[in-house]
Chains A and B, each alone.
Chain A
Amino acid sequence: MADYKLIGKNYTTPDILAKVTGRAKYAEDFRAEGMLFTKLLVSPMPHARVRRMDTSAAMAMPGVEAILTADDLPEAEAPQEAGLTNEPLYEGEPILAIAAVDEETAAEAVEAVQIDFEPLPFVLDPMDSLRPGGPNARLDGNTMAGRDLSTIKWNDVDWSEFDRGIMPLGGEVTDEWQVGDVEAGFAEADLILDESVFSASLSHQPLETRTAMAYWQNGKCYMHCSTQSTARTEGGMARWIGIDPTDLVLIGEYCGGGFGSKISSSIQARIPAALSRKAGRPVMMRVTRQEENFFGRARPGIQCRAKFGFKSDGRVVAIDLMLVQDGGPYGRSGDYMSCADQASLMYQPEHMRVRGLTVYTNTPPRGAQRAPGGVQAVAMFAPIMDKAARQLGVDPLDAIHLNAAEGQALFGRPRQGRQGNVSSAFPKEAIDKAREEFDWEGMKARSGQRNGSKVTGVGVAISSYSAGTSGVDGLLVIRPDGMVEIHTGVGNLGTESFSDTSRAAMEALDTPWEQAEVVWGDTSKHLPWSAIQGGSQTTHGHTRSNWAAGLEAKKRLQEIAADRFGGSPDSFDVAEGRVFRRGNRGQAMTFGQAAERAIQLGGVYDGSQLPEDINEMTTRSATALAGRGLVVAAKDNFETGGRNMSFCIGFAEVEVDTETGAVVLKDYKVASDAGTILHPQNFAGQVHGGGIQGFGVALGQKWVMDPQWGLHVAKRFYSNRPPTILDAPHDQEMAWSASDNPDPFNPLGAKGIGEAPVGAGAGAVLNAISDALGGNVDFNRSPIMGDQILTKLNPELDEAHNKLSTHV
């Protein structure tokens, strides 16, 4: 790694003290004078129409101030949601909201509403909707074909196959692509595995629910909400509220987790905003855990027929996928397509065909969840890779290495006949390093070891996902007191990238971090146009933008010094909070002195004159800051070289008790290719936090729904079973390693690391369980729980359900 002073070093982020001491204020912690509380009436049915509603008794209750129904909100264009509805499409969908002086009163009032629902046909499993005559989740169709809602039924497929757990082929799809010639690929394969596989839907379950509080003052709406991004929440939130973005003050300095479900906050935040406007008082909507489970978004499940062709050395020559996605009731999630893209990237087949569609169901709305599609790809396909390696007698890590992407590898769905490429790929280097560091041979030697009824299993899986964007802005102010104010519109999701990427500016200025002040999380504080805090965009995107702003600030400082001392700007350098003449450090100005001079100079120095290529939002913010010091706004115009992708390779060791089906995770290690590491402590938090989330995918997080009534039965936080820290291995610390190959298309070499770790955790654990059982057991499904293990090991037990069944 290059010799950096800040990049790659641990430090204390500016938000951490407030977080660990409880001083940090999340949306729920705010109060405003005269604030009301609202409670929601949510649908008790999976699909219904409100036939009659009488709110008179509720409104007559003392302390009840206002009510909001779907009729008060602009209608959404199908298949989008409005936030409140008279035709709920899933259990728990909000119907109306009542604001009262306290929550107790609001809840009593909701209970006093007389409401009559007409039940409508519902469907929980996408395959049930594809069956001839099967119900549609929506009255206007069961899928999206291009931009249109339409209805697809698989009238001509062999449904008896599906009833035997085989995904039928031949049905109509909405998306299809091919590279190479998949049939020719299979013809040259030495081994073909043709499997039907399933990966379950699961809720995001951030610890902070999507609470929001809003009030209006002098025509502006003040919104305190839980959001991952700041700059990229402003526009959408303003649209939801129906105001101009300049009339919105958005405050979200802390976010208790989002995992993709709060990238631009949540549409439900419009409810307190609209209620507040109606009531003329601030309104707090504290979202409960149960409501979070209903409308807090979820990863779509995927049912898939996956055919993989291998050469005898383990090389993947052809992949043919048929993907059916459980789309929930609204919007259009593209997980099934990114699932195919990631398969293409991870295994690099010469020939690949993909067919698929998303089918609407009356289950909670789907959204991006940490590596959307990528996690499902690993959960479904890593076991196929493992099975092939076993059948071919190839070391599974060698098989991953053999197939892994290199350089600017091509992958995914072709556009205009050509596949796109990655900016860099070093998974082979990551594997080479980890093989030694993690003692892969030693791990393998423990595979199959027995201790009474307990058997050790070892698993390894590769995972890839997107890791950056470009073209966003940097904005900083060097103030007369010498401090460097770095403004960022990245949110504070908890990944700390809002701060970690700000360090790029100080690195460019060669100045200690103590002289920096990060400004974030509040649009009234004048933030630049930023990337979404999602899709692992920020680490790459904002090291670029802050590096650009830092270099621009350095240039202006050099000009100011040249103006003061004479000579060319190039004869000056910047370090340690000063600009000075090279070779004569006596001729120097502190940042504070330079800032004062910038104010006097005006123009390009104090923010009065701004670059033309920056975003309108950045221009607005920089203009508001003009005159406060040396104000620098800069767009990231650095060269790009393809899509940024990071890679993780998970190594898991489990112990499976063959008498109880219990799985204990003994060890987990993860190797990574994520470019230059900005902040090792945070990096470890990402690779292991993501890994643990993946353990949930592998070991137990799911929904259970009663098919007769279409209702959730496992909607409690505990019955949803997200993994906890005590589910992580604790005999020794989980290790991680990084290939440390800088991305050539980032000035600091940085790539994101938020997404890829999840699949690595899921895939490695699934493969380890399979290994413990001798590799003879095909689960073809995630999660795998104790009951499934016992059922597989005891042939006298009947499978309780089809292996492709959803929500069981």
Chain B
Amino acid sequence: MAVIRDKMPAFQLFQPASTEEALGVLDQYGADAWVLAGGLDTWDWLKDRVKKPAAVVDLGGVSELSEIRSLGGGLEIGAMATLRDVIRHPEVSEQFSMLADSASQAASPQIQNQGTIGGNVGQDTRCWYYRDGWSCYRAGGNICYADTPTAMNREHAILGASRCVAVNPSDTAPVLVALDAEMVVRNSTGERVIPAQDFFIGPAVDIMRMTALQPGDILTSIRIPWTFANTRFYFEKARDRAVWDFPLANVASAAKINNGVVEDIRIVANGVAPYPVRFLAAEDAVRGRQVSQAVAMEAGEIAINGVRPLRHNAYKVTLLRNLVKRSVQGAEA
């Protein structure tokens, strides 16, 4: 069979008006169903005919999924809220400005208008071999084309790889992990709440998926507890182009600082591993200490313990070290 790309094949399109209805269709089609949010990840896959679902379930008409509201314990953001909704929402800006900041650095203004927060955290990796349909581990094959002696892997992982060296490209995901958010997932049997840190999985857990979402699941909302509301935030994204580019690496930290002393901190980076990596050892090294350049540098050095750079991405080690350092120093430094 010859290969053709960049032309979407036909599929059954469902446009349910409620989550219940959507779950019904997902149940009916099982693994042949595809959940569509903003479409920025989806349409590439479908147009390239690399993934060919029988049914596409468009959540765009499920209005209950796009609400942003305050709960007793925190802020709940519907998975179908667009990145623009998140950026513009006053409570997001007031309490969790880092989330708005990361969303406004994702992709481009046009994509922020169309892309959703659920899609941004649920998106697949951008490994150029995998996305182009090479039959790699992640696609069910038995090789990683990005990890051969001659492979082009400038944008791949330095941490957390397990056979597959692809990275998670989301800009909002590390922020949500840093804010200790929870992901609310529904399927036809009920609802489960997964800590963001566990929602993102690496190839060692499941090489064919980036998140804990299984066929039949819908990510309905993201809950951010007030725990780190209005603490000292740091988000930075390193990329090649000022816009419409995925991170070479990004970093997010939320820190409770009292008289210059770090009472608590969470440091997370993405674009360096198949999932947003939390640097527990670096956090431990910093906690209880006065913020200083030396402490920050120490955290940076700890963060790069155990890195395994590939042929073309050793620079990411330096980049990660410096980003983690800065995330400890804070924006004022």
Interface residues in chain A, defined as those with a beta carbon under 8 Å from any beta carbon in chain B: 39-42, 44, 103-104, 107-108, 110-115, 288-291, 452-453, 659-662, 664, 699-700, 704-708, 713-716, 718-719, 721, 723-724, 726-727, 785-787, 790-791, 794, 797-798, 800-801, 808
Query: Is B326 among interface residues, defined by CB-CB distance under 8 A?
Result: yes
Given A108-B9, A112-B1: A787 and B151 within 8 A (CB)? no
In the complex, 12 of the A-B residue pairs with CB atoms within 8 angstroms, ordered by the A residue number, are A42-B4, A104-B8, A110-B4, A111-B49, A113-B2, A452-B333, A704-B152, A716-B44, A790-B318, A794-B318, A800-B313, A808-B312
Given A661-B315, A708-B148: A110 and B2 within 8 A (CB)? yes
Instruction: List chain A residues, Cβ under 8 A from B44.
Output: 716
The reply to whether A800 and B154 form a contact with Cβ atoms under 8 Å apart is yes
Instruction: List chain B residues, Cβ under 8 A from A699.
Output: 240-241
Least distance between B34 CB and chain A CB atoms (Å): 18
How distant is the Cα of A707 from the Cα of B148 in the complex, in angstroms?
11
From 307 to 333 in chain B, residues with beta carbon under 8 angstroms from any chain A beta carbon are 311-319, 322-323, 325-326, 333
The reply to whether A706 and B4 form a contact with Cβ atoms under 8 Å apart is no
Which of A111, A714, A715 makes the CB contact (< 8 A) with B2? A111
Query: Is B302 among interface residues, defined by CB-CB distance under 8 A?
Result: no
* Number of chain B residues close to chain A: CB under 8 A: 48
Mark each residue of chain B from 231 to 244: 1 if its CB lies under 8 Å from any CB of chain A, else 0.
00000101111111
Least distance between A499 CB and chain B CB atoms (Å): 30
The reply to whether A724 and B242 form a contact with Cβ atoms under 8 Å apart is yes
The reply to whether A706 and B151 form a contact with Cβ atoms under 8 Å apart is yes
The reply to whether B2 and A791 form a contact with Cβ atoms under 8 Å apart is no
B interface, by DSSP: helix, strand, loop or mixed?
Answer: loop
The reply to whether A800 and B312 form a contact with Cβ atoms under 8 Å apart is yes
The reply to whether B150 and A707 form a contact with Cβ atoms under 8 Å apart is yes
The reply to whether B4 and A705 form a contact with Cβ atoms under 8 Å apart is no
How distant is the Cα of A785 from the Cα of B312 in the complex, in angstroms?
13
Query: Is B89 among interface residues, defined by CB-CB distance under 8 A?
Result: no
Instruction: List chain A residues, Cβ under 8 A from B45.
Output: none
Which of B5, B49, B108, B312 makes the CB contact (< 8 A) with A724? B108
From 127 to 181 in chain B, residues with beta carbon under 8 angstroms from any chain A beta carbon are 128-129, 131-132, 145, 148, 150-152, 154
**Chain B residue at smallest Cβ distance from A801:** B312
Query: Is B94 among interface residues, defined by CB-CB distance under 8 A?
Result: no
Instruction: List chain B residues, Cβ under 8 A from A42.
Output: 4
Instruction: List chain B residues, Cβ under 8 A from A714.
Output: 128, 152
The reply to whether B129 and A289 form a contact with Cβ atoms under 8 Å apart is no
The reply to whether B7 and A39 form a contact with Cβ atoms under 8 Å apart is yes
The reply to whether A719 and B248 form a contact with Cβ atoms under 8 Å apart is no
Which of A110, A115, A790, A798 makes the CB contact (< 8 A) with B319? A790
**Chain B residue at smallest Cβ distance from A42:** B4
How distant is the Cα of A715 from the Cα of B126 in the complex, in angstroms?
12
Least distance between A116 CB and chain B CB atoms (Å): 10
Given A660-B323, A787-B315, A790-B319: A41 and B240 within 8 A (CB)? no
Least distance between A575 CB and chain B CB atoms (Å): 49
In addition to A452-B333, A794-B318, 9 A-B residue pairs with Cβ atoms within 8 Å of each other are: A44-B3, A111-B3, A659-B323, A704-B128, A727-B241, A786-B248, A787-B316, A797-B314, A800-B314
The reply to whether B2 and A115 form a contact with Cβ atoms under 8 Å apart is yes
How distant is the Cα of A790 from the Cα of B311 in the complex, in angstroms?
15
Q: Which of A115, A291, A660, A790 has the most CB of B within 10 A?
A: A660
Least distance between B293 CB and chain A CB atoms (Å): 11
Instruction: List chain B residues, Cβ under 8 A from A808.
Output: 152, 154, 312
From 33 to 85 in chain B, residues with beta carbon under 8 angstroms from any chain A beta carbon are 44, 49
Least distance between B173 CB and chain A CB atoms (Å): 19
**Chain A residue at smallest Cβ distance from B241:** A721
How distant is the Cα of A42 from the Cα of B6 in the complex, in angstroms?
12
Q: Which of B1, B9, B128, B241 has the most CB of A within 10 A?
A: B241
Query: Is B21 among interface residues, defined by CB-CB distance under 8 A?
Result: no
From 238 to 269 in chain B, residues with beta carbon under 8 angstroms from any chain A beta carbon are 238-245, 248
Instruction: List chain A residues, Cβ under 8 A from B49.
Output: 107, 111
From 277 to 331 in chain B, residues with beta carbon under 8 angstroms from any chain A beta carbon are 311-319, 322-323, 325-326
How distant is the Cα of A103 from the Cα of B313 in the complex, in angstroms?
40
How distant is the Cα of A664 from the Cα of B317 in the complex, in angstroms?
22
How distant is the Cα of A551 from the Cα of B313 in the complex, in angstroms?
64
Instruction: List chain B residues, Cβ under 8 A from A801.
Output: 312
How distant is the Cα of A724 from the Cα of B108 in the complex, in angstroms?
10
Which of B6, B239, B317 makes the CB contact (< 8 A) with A289? B6
Instruction: List chain B residues, Cβ under 8 A from A721.
Output: 240-241, 245
The reply to whether A800 and B241 form a contact with Cβ atoms under 8 Å apart is no
The reply to whether B5 and A290 form a contact with Cβ atoms under 8 Å apart is yes
**Chain A residue at smallest Cβ distance from B329:** A452
Instruction: List chain B residues, Cβ under 8 A from A115.
Output: 2
How distant is the Cα of A288 from the Cα of B4 in the complex, in angstroms?
11
Q: Please list the 9 inter-chain residue pairs (A to B) with the smallest Cβ-Cβ separation, ordered nearest first.
A: A288-B6, A659-B322, A726-B243, A787-B315, A713-B128, A107-B7, A790-B315, A290-B6, A800-B312
The reply to whether A726 and B108 form a contact with Cβ atoms under 8 Å apart is yes
Given A113-B2, A708-B150: A727 and B7 within 8 A (CB)? no
How distant is the Cα of A699 from the Cα of B325 in the complex, in angstroms?
26
The reply to whether B241 and A713 form a contact with Cβ atoms under 8 Å apart is no
Q: Which of A659, A661, A664, A716 has the most CB of B within 10 A?
A: A659
**Chain A residue at smallest Cβ distance from B126:** A719
Instruction: List chain B residues, Cβ under 8 A from A108.
Output: 9
Least distance between B125 CB and chain A CB atoms (Å): 13
Instruction: List chain B residues, Cβ under 8 A from A41.
Output: 2, 4
Given A704-B152, A713-B132: A800 and B4 within 8 A (CB)? no
How distant is the Cα of A723 from the Cα of B236 in the complex, in angstroms?
21
Given A719-B128, A727-B243: A114 and B1 within 8 A (CB)? yes
Instruction: List chain A residues, Cβ under 8 A from B241.
Output: 699-700, 721, 723-724, 727
Instruction: List chain A residues, Cβ under 8 A from B240.
Output: 699-700, 721, 785-786
Instruction: List chain A residues, Cβ under 8 A from B245.
Output: 718, 721
Least distance between B161 CB and chain A CB atoms (Å): 17
Instruction: List chain B residues, Cβ under 8 A from A452.
Output: 333
Instruction: List chain A residues, Cβ under 8 A from B239.
Output: 662
Which of B1, B311, B323 makes the CB contact (< 8 A) with A800? B311
**Chain A residue at smallest Cβ distance from B244:** A718
Instruction: List chain B residues, Cβ under 8 A from A107.
Output: 4, 7, 9, 49
**Chain A residue at smallest Cβ distance from B310:** A800
The reply to whether B4 and A39 form a contact with Cβ atoms under 8 Å apart is yes
Least distance between A63 CB and chain B CB atoms (Å): 12
How distant is the Cα of A108 from the Cα of B326 in the complex, in angstroms?
52
Least distance between A720 CB and chain B CB atoms (Å): 10
The reply to whether B1 and A706 form a contact with Cβ atoms under 8 Å apart is no
Instruction: List chain A residues, Cβ under 8 A from B126.
Output: 719
Least distance between B198 CB and chain A CB atoms (Å): 29
**Chain B residue at smallest Cβ distance from A117:** B2
How distant is the Cα of A723 from the Cα of B242 in the complex, in angstroms?
9
How distant is the Cα of A103 from the Cα of B244 in the complex, in angstroms?
29
Given A115-B2, A718-B244, A724-B108: A706 and B315 within 8 A (CB)? no
